[in-house]
């Protein structure tokens, strides 16, 4: 197990390093100039060159990468062009808000997806299975803002039960009220994915010999489901979900924009529109690192729960 953990950690560090190169390359090496993009096409070449020098984006690439990455390791991602203040003054608050939203989403979608998928598996081929599968497929491919707009229309405008947007501040109850609609929006897209995985996992577990044995030796159906089917189908489901975290994090961009929720997604959207490159690079790096961390945790969890890996046998 220790060897597995070390190897997995090592790989993550390497991938993080490559991620930083990818982000730097995409935002810096592509043809085009930040100064030109900020000042517009009618600005004189001198003022563009001056701005590029002020922003420190005119030197050779390797030193610039080293400066950026070196700072990033120490938690310094440079100054925001727009606010003229360190990027790190803004990132932690936004990250915290997004984590709240992500947790609210998972609290909604994990039980719903697992129950929905398992239920569909139990009624495989029947009408209720078709309904869950097709609505899941539909939700999974519908852009978040389409779902969000329908939810806002129903719950914020017609019924006037929940606020149509804003940030999570104030009392816990107030925060929960603000979080419900964006979290439901993100849940809709994830539900399709999660329920499909849960259904596939449950169908496999239902067909397995150990489930048949458990049923044949006379265990009550409820016990068979809990101890034999769910125990075997849940883990792969959750692991696969964790590997889809980058998808959830991408959804934050549109969802937070739609609900004016001040998290990482809205920060990225604003930074992109304002061409605030240091802010954007830092936020996107954070998202990538977060997705990687989630995958790592899921992998380690799966390994730990799997005796074959935990006890050091090679797969």
Partner 1 sequence: MTDASTDTSTSAPATSTRDVRKELRRQLFRSKTFIVGMLILLFWTFNAIAPGVLATHDPTKQNPATKWVRPFFNEGFILGADRKGSDVFSRALYGAREIMIIAPSATIIGVTVGVVLGLAMGYFRGPFDDIASRFIEALMSLPVILVALLALTSLSGGRLTIILLIGFLFGPIIARTIRAAVLTERNLDYVRAAELRGERSWYIMFVEILPNVFGPIVVEFTVRLGYAVFTMAGLAFVGFGTQPGSPDWGRTIFEERLSLLSDVWWPALVPALALASLVVAINLIADAVQGLIDR
Contact footprint for partner 1 (CB under 8 A) = 14-16, 18-19, 21-23, 26-28, 30-34, 37, 137-138, 141-146, 149-150, 152-153, 156-158, 164, 246-247, 249-251, 253-254, 257-258, 268-269, 272-273, 275, 277, 280-281, 284, 287-288, 291-292, 295
Give Cα separations from 147 to 34, 47, 210, 255 (angstroms): 35, 45, 41, 10
Directed axis angle between helix 245-258 and helix 231-243, to 10°? 60
Which one, 214 or 288, has the nearer CB to partner 1? 288
Question: In angstroms, what is the minimal distance from the CB of 129 to partner 1?
Answer: 15
Three-class SS state of 103 = helix
Residue 62 structure tokens: 């390797």
Residue number with CB closer to partner 1 (214 or 283): 283
Least distance from partner 1 to the Cβ atom of residue 244, Å: 10
Token pair recorded at residue 24: 């730097």
Distance in Å, CB of 114 to partner 1, minimum: 22
Output the smallest distance, CB 166 to partner 1, in A.
12
For residues 188 and 205, which CB has a smaller minimum distance to partner 1 in the complex?
188
What the block records as the tokens of 140 is: 């999974």
- Report the nearest approach of partner 1 to the CB of residue 183 (Å): 18
User: Of the two residues 23 and 206, which places its CB atom closer to partner 1 in the complex?
Assistant: 23
Rounded to 10°, the helix 91-122/231-243 angle is 140
Closer of 32 and 307 to partner 1 (Cβ): 32
Q: How far is the CB of 281 from partner 1 (least distance, A)?
A: 7
Shortest Cβ distance from residue 31 to partner 1 (Å)? 7
Dist. CA 216–CA 211, nearest whole Å:
9
CA–CA distance, 203 with 184 (Å, rounded to integer): 27
Between 104 and 254, CB nearer to partner 1: 254
Instruction: Give the burial string for 36-74 (b: 16+ CB within 10 Å, else e).
Output: bebbeeeeeeeebeebbeebebbeeeeeebeebeebbee
Pick 201 or 278: Cβ nearer partner 1: 278
3-state helix, strand, coil in the chain (%, to 5): 80, 0, 20
Q: Which residue has the tokens 């390093």?
A: 17
Give the pair of three-digit tokens for residue 117. 């998928």
| Beta carbons within 8 Å of 64's beta carbon, 6+ residues apart | 28, 56, 57
Q: Residue 302 Cβ, how far from partner 1 at the closest point, in Å?
A: 18
Q: How far apart are the first and last CA of the chain?
A: 12
If the CB atoms of residues 188 and 224 are measured against partner 1, the closer one turns out to be 188
Say if residues 244 and 190 touch (Cβ distance below 8 Å).
yes
């Amino acid at each position: 197990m220790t060897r597995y953990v070390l190897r997995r950690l090592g790989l993550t560090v390497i991938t993080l390093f490559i991620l930083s190169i990818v982000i730097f390359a995409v935002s810096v090496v592509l043809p085009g100039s930040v100064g030109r993009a900020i000042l517009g096409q009618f600005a004189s070449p001198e003022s563009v060159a001056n701005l590029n020098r002020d922003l420190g984006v005119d030197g050779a690439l390797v030193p610039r990468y080293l400066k950026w990455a070196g700072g990033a390791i120490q938690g310094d991602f440079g100054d925001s062009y727009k606010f003229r203040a360190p990027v790190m003054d803004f990132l932690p608050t936004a990250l915290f808000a997004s984590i709240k939203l992500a947790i609210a989403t998972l609290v909604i979608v994990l039980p719903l997806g697992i129950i929905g998928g398992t239920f569909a598996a139990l009624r495989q081929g029947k009408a209720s299975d078709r309904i869950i599968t097709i609505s899941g497929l539909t939700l999974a491919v519908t852009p978040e803002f389409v779902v969000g707009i329908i939810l806002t229309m129903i719950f914020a405008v017609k019924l006037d039960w929940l606020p149509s947007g804003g940030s999570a501040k104030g009392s816990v109850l107030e925060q929960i009220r603000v979080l419900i609609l964006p979290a439901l929006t993100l849940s809709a897209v994830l539900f399709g994915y999660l329920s499909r995985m849960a259904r596939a996992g449950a169908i496999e577990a239902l067909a397995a010999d150990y489930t048949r044995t458990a049923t044949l030796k006379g265990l009550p159906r409820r016990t068979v489901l809990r101890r034999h089917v769910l125990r075997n189908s849940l883990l792969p489901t959750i692991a696969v979900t964790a590997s889809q975290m980058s998808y959830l994090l991408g959804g934050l961009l549109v969802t937070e924009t739609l609900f004016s929720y001040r998290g990482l997604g809205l920060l990225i959207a604003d930074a992109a529109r304002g061409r605030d490159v240091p802010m954007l690079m830092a936020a996107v790096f954070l998202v990538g690192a977060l997705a990687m961390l989630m995958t790592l945790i899921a992998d380690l969890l799966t390994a730990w729960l799997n005796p074959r890996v935990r006890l050091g046998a090679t797969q």
